[in-house]
């Protein structure tokens, strides 16, 4: 069976300036991420894991090398922003939600049809949103509910590739596991690709493919 790659790194080098010194996060790193799987990226440190996702999501450039998304280089696409929004969903603790909107307003939009309403309610049910949380402005939600809201909005945009950075994940352990379980079930049912950057060992039981940052490279951890 031919392996279809959602992501391919080719000799990627990334340098970051820190305290007036250049630090090499990755050096000529190769990485092949097969589509329609749950991938877990561990090892290194939180900065390396976050930068790996941000480069993959075409949010920041690598210093050298090439990163392809389904064999396309986002930097060479004329409408890069449109490609990113339709292809890549990026979830981290910062989010990008309108503070005064409720999760329901943000998810359903201004004039939703019946199918959209059903889809929104199904996802909100899956992620255990209470009726009160659905009607509360984002800025008044708990950090955990706000993070879940950001995830739900990302999933509703229906990107084939989802990047999840759980640094600063604002959940107690048991609730965190529940969110992971729900997300992985969704990814497999919808045949999406997920890369989760995390130092949480629970992912080792959930992921199809395990990867780790080893010094300045990404290697298989299976």
Burial of 188 from C-beta contacts in 10 A (0-12 / 13-18 / 19+): middle
d(CA 104, CA 120): 8
CATH fit for domain 5-93+157-220, picks 3.40.50.12280, 3.40.50.300, 3.30.70.360, 3.40.50.2300: 3.40.50.300
Q: What pLDDT, on the 0 to 100 scale, is given for residue 145? A: 85
Q: What pLDDT, on the 0 to 100 scale, is given for residue 22? A: 92
Q: What pLDDT, on the 0 to 100 scale, is given for residue 52? A: 97
pLDDT tens-digit map of 123-160: 999 889 999 998 888 889 888 888 888 888 889 889 99
Between CA 97 and CA 93, with CA 118 as vertex, the angle to 5 degrees is 25
Q: Which residues of the chain have pLDDT under 70?
A: 1, 93-98, 110
Q: What pLDDT, on the 0 to 100 scale, is given for residue 216? A: 97
Q: What pLDDT, on the 0 to 100 scale, is given for residue 110? A: 63
């Amino acid at each position: 069976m031919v392996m279809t790659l959602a992501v391919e790194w080719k000799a990627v080098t990334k340098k970051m300036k820190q305290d007036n010194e250049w630090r090499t996060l990755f050096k000529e790193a190769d990485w092949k991420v097969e589509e329609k799987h749950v991938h877990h990226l561990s090892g290194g440190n939180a900065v390396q894991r976050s930068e790996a996702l941000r480069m993959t999501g075409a949010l920041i450039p690598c210093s050298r090398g090439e990163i392809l998304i389904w064999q396309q280089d986002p930097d060479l696409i004329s409408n890069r922003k449109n490609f990113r929004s339709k292809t890549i969903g990026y979830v981290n603790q910062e989010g990008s939600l309108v503070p005064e909107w409720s999760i329901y307003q943000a998810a359903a939009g201004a004039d939703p049809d019946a199918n959209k309403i059903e889809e929104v309610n199904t996802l909100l049910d899956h992620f255990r949103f209470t009726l009160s949380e659905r009607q509360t402005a984002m800025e008044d939600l708990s950090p955990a509910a706000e993070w879940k809201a950001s995830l739900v909005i990302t999933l509703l945009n229906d990107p084939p590739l989802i990047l999840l950075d759980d640094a600063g994940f604002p959940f107690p352990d048991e609730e965190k596991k529940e969110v992971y379980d729900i997300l992985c079930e969704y990814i497999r049912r919808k045949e999406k690709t997920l890369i989760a950057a995390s130092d949480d060992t629970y992912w080792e039981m959930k992921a199809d493919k395990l990867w780790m940052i080893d010094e300045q490279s990404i290697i298989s951890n299976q």
